Structure 1
Amino acid sequence: MNSAALQPEAPLNRRDFLRSASALAASAGFAGTAIAQQPEKPNAQDKVELSQIHATTEQPEKIPGPFESRDHRTGFAIVGLGRLALGEILPAMGKSKYCKPTALVSGDRQKALKIAAQYGIKESSVYDYTTYDQLARNPDVQVIYIVLPNSMHADFTVRGARAGKHILCEKPMATTAKDCERMIAACEQAKVKLMIAYRSQYEPNDLALIKMIRAGKLGKLRQYIATNSQNQGDPTQWRQKKALAGGGCMPDVGVYCLNAARFLSDEEPYEVQATIVQPKDDPRFAEVEASCQVIAKFPSGFVATFNSSYNAHKSQFLRIEGVEAFAELNSAFAYHGIKLRYSKLIDGQEIMHEPSIEEKDQFAEEMDHMALCVQKNLKPHTPGEEGLQDQRITDAIYESARTGKAVKLSPPHAPTRSPDPVEA
Structure 2
Amino acid sequence: MPDKKAIDRRSLLKLTSVGAAGALIASKASAQTYPSPSSVDVGHVKDGKVMFDPWRSPADTPSGPLPAPLPPEQRVGFAIVGLGRLALEQILPAFAESKKAKVVALVSGTPDKLEAVAAQYGIKKEACYSYDAFDTIKDNPEIKAVYIVLPNGMHREYTERAAKAGKHVLCEKPMSINSAEAKKMIDSCKAAGVKLMIAYRIQYEAYNLRLAELVRQKKFGRLVGISAINVQTVAEDGYKQWRHKKAMSGGGSLPDIGLYLLNTSRFMTGEEPVEIMATMYSPPGDPRYKEVEETVSFTLRFASNVIANCFTSYGARDDKHQRLNFETAVADMPNAYQYEGQKLAITSRQDDATSEANLTLHAPNQFAAEIDHMASCVIEDRIPRTPGEEGMQDHILMEAIYQSAQTGQPVKLQPAPKLDAFRGPPAEIKM
TM-score normalized by structure 1?
0.89
The 1:13–1:370 alpha-carbon spacing in structure 2 relative to 1, beyond 3 Å, is farther
2:283 is equivalent to residue 279 of structure 1: yes
Residue number in structure 2 paired with 1:227: 229
> Shift of residue 13 of structure 1?
9.9
**In structure 2, C-alpha distance between the alignment counterparts of 1:243 and 1:106, rounded to whole Å:** 20
Which amino acid in 1 is paired with 2:296? C
> Shift of residue 62 of structure 1?
4.1
> Shift of residue 63 of structure 1?
5.8
Residue number in structure 2 paired with 1:215: 217
Q: Could you say which structure has the larger radius of gyration? A: 2
**In structure 1, C-alpha distance between the alignment counterparts of 2:392 and 2:328, rounded to whole Å:** 33
Which amino acid in 2 is paired with 1:146? I
The answer to which of 324-333 and 412-421 deviates more is 412-421
The 1:18–1:52 alpha-carbon spacing in structure 2 relative to 1, beyond 3 Å, is farther
Listed as ranges, the gaps of 5+ residues in structure 2 are 1-24, 38-44
Listed as ranges, the gaps of 5+ residues in structure 1 are 1-8, 23-41
Within the candidate set 340, 343, 346, 2:344 is matched to: 340
State the secondary structure of the residue aligned to 1:270: strand
2:392 is equivalent to residue 392 of structure 1: no
Q: Deviations over 1:334-358 (max 9, x none)?
A: 0010011111112132211111101
Q: Deviations over 1:169-205 (max 9, x none)?
A: 0000011111110011111111111100000000000
**In structure 2, C-alpha distance between the alignment counterparts of 1:191 and 1:134, rounded to whole Å:** 19
> Shift of residue 49 of structure 1?
2.5
**In structure 1, C-alpha distance between the alignment counterparts of 2:161 and 2:415, rounded to whole Å:** 30
Residue number in structure 2 paired with 1:289: 293
**In structure 2, C-alpha distance between the alignment counterparts of 1:18 and 1:399, rounded to whole Å:** 79
Residue number in structure 1 paired with 2:317: 313
The 1:411–1:389 alpha-carbon spacing in structure 2 relative to 1, beyond 3 Å, is farther
- 4+ runs deviating over 2 angstroms: 9-14, 16-19, 49-64, 410-414
2:424 is equivalent to residue 418 of structure 1: yes
Which amino acid in 2 is paired with 1:385? E
Aligned residues with identical type, % of pairs: 42
Residue number in structure 2 paired with 1:409: 413
Residue number in structure 2 paired with 1:260: 264
> Shift of residue 217 of structure 1?
1.2
Any conservation in 1 of the 2:206–2:429 contact (CA below 8 Å)? no
Q: CA RMSD in A?
A: 2.3
2:390 is equivalent to residue 368 of structure 1: no
Residue number in structure 2 paired with 1:355: 359
Any conservation in 1 of the 2:297–2:311 contact (CA below 8 Å)? yes
State the secondary structure of the residue aligned to 2:316: strand
Any conservation in 1 of the 2:64–2:362 contact (CA below 8 Å)? no
> Shift of residue 366 of structure 1?
0.2
**In structure 1, C-alpha distance between the alignment counterparts of 2:379 and 2:310, rounded to whole Å:** 38
**In structure 2, C-alpha distance between the alignment counterparts of 1:246 and 1:13, rounded to whole Å:** 78
Residue number in structure 2 paired with 1:168: 170
Any conservation in 2 of the 1:240–1:285 contact (CA below 8 Å)? yes
The 1:423–1:203 alpha-carbon spacing in structure 2 relative to 1, beyond 3 Å, is closer
Which amino acid in 2 is paired with 1:162? K
Aligned length: 395
Which amino acid in 2 is paired with 1:249? S
